[in-house]
Amino acid sequence: MTHPYLRPRRLRATPALRRLVAETRVSPAELVLPMFVREGAAGPVPIASMPGVVQHSRDSLRRAVAEAAEAGVGGVMLFGVPERRDAEGTAACDPGGVLNVAIADAVAEAGDALVVMADLCLDEFTDHGHCGVLAADGTVDNDATLEVYARMALAQAEAGAHLLGLSGMMDGQVAAVRAALDEEGRTDVVLLAYAAKYASAFYGPFRDAVESTLTGDRRTYQLSPSNGREGVREAMLDVAEGADIVMVKPAASYLDVLADVAAVSEVPVWAYQVSGEYAMVEAAAANGWIDRDRAIEESVLAIRRAGAEAVLTYWAVELAERLRRDAR
Ligand code: PBG
């Protein structure tokens, strides 16, 4: 009988040892809460496919932003649900549009306690549901969309957004928005590029959340799930265009891309744990099929381990509160 000389189990023997040797930790400051605000809502409206997530009214948004700041999360990412949509997504650039008003409300509420971020994309604002404006032949017109993004960025900066999340996957969007902002002296506004955003089924519940009805699909601008190298290329292009942070999205099904981007990026790398990832855990947990709390923690930990320095997650506040309780 030989006895093993090397015993990795030694470091797993007690909770104190396991805690001490943990390679990856999650802390509240690196969690970002995505939030929806619905124009004209009288109070929070539940989102059926995302139990526990709501479309906020102006008032409930302010309360929830205060709660997020109190929980110590790093930031909030705002999405608007407008009452009216048109082909050009006009409301996105209107200072009185739902998202721009929400940005100002969130900044007024949170001050400098957290980073107020805004989604910079047209899909919530267009009646066809695409992330850009359409050419005469019905395709998404890349360069015409860049002009709208530039105006949208200025409106969001004017409203007080600290960081803009460029999620439209148009070529050249980072450079176009950076140039427009700098031209107006907005050199301090941070740009987060959804650099590697995949055409994913896991965005399903998000369509509910923003009530967007898409004609067709997004495969002419979002990445194909089959392509990892292209995701790294997109991230590097965005860095070259001046992105301050790059992101991979969705997270769980793209941890390899995340790790590859993290290995070469000279700017921070984040990941977005999307609506479908949230809904799957909530649905399985509601059926008693998995341990909800452990699944939440494990899923976020895995995203951090793969290389994300911050994670956008609908569980941000709950997880931040739990982490702070556990730390005591
Ligand atoms: C585009 C955008 C989407 C999401 C975030 N920003 C939708 C899409 O590209 O189809 C999805 C987020 C999620 O599913 O949680 N504005």
123 lines ligand 1 (CB under 6 A): yes
CA dist., res. 297 & res. 292, Å (int) = 9
| pLDDT confidence bin for 215, thresholds 50/70/90 | confident
Q: Is 249 a catalytic residue?
A: yes
Residue-wise pLDDT tens digits, 119-142: 999 999 999 999 999 999 999 999
Question: Which residue among 98, 122, 123, 314 is best mutated to probe the pocket of ligand 1, counting the most ligand atoms within 8 A of its Cβ?
Answer: 123
Question: Which residue among 125, 173, 203, 214 is best mutated to probe the pocket of ligand 1, counting the most ligand atoms within 8 A of its Cβ?
Answer: 203
Instruction: Count Cα neighbours of 134 within 13 Å in the Cβ-side half-sphere.
Output: 16
Residue-wise pLDDT tens digits, 254-289: 999 999 999 999 999 999 999 999 999 999 999 999
| pLDDT confidence bin for 327, thresholds 50/70/90 | confident
Residue 48 three-state SS: coil
- Is residue 110 within 8 A of residue 116, CB to CB? The reply is yes
pLDDT at 315: 98
- Is residue 19 within 8 A of residue 62, CB to CB? The reply is no
275 lines ligand 1 (CB under 6 A): yes
Structural domain spans, the chain: 28-327
| pLDDT confidence bin for 33, thresholds 50/70/90 | very high
In this structure, are strands 45-46 and 54-56 parallel, antiparallel, or unpaired?
antiparallel
| Fold of the domain spanning 28-327 | TIM Barrel (3.20.20)
pLDDT at 320: 98
Dihedral sign from CA coordinates of 274, 133, 122, 243: positive
Mean pLDDT of the chain: 97
Predicted ipTM > 0.90? yes
Say whether 5 counts as a known binding-site residue. Answer: no
149 lines ligand 1 (CB under 6 A): no
CA dist., res. 106 & res. 159, Å (int) = 10
Residue-wise pLDDT tens digits, 296-317: 999 999 999 999 999 999 999 9
Residues 6+ apart with CB under 8 A from 226: none
**DSSP character at residue 176:** H
Say whether 19 counts as a known binding-site residue. Answer: no
Q: Is the pLDDT of residue 99 over 90?
A: yes
Q: Is the pLDDT of residue 328 over 80?
A: no
Here the tokens at position 1 are 């009988």
CA dist., res. 194 & res. 197, Å (int) = 6
Q: Which residues of 112-122 are buried (b: 16+ CB within 10 A; e: fewer)?
A: eebbbbbbbbb
Does the pTM of the predicted model rise above 0.95? yes
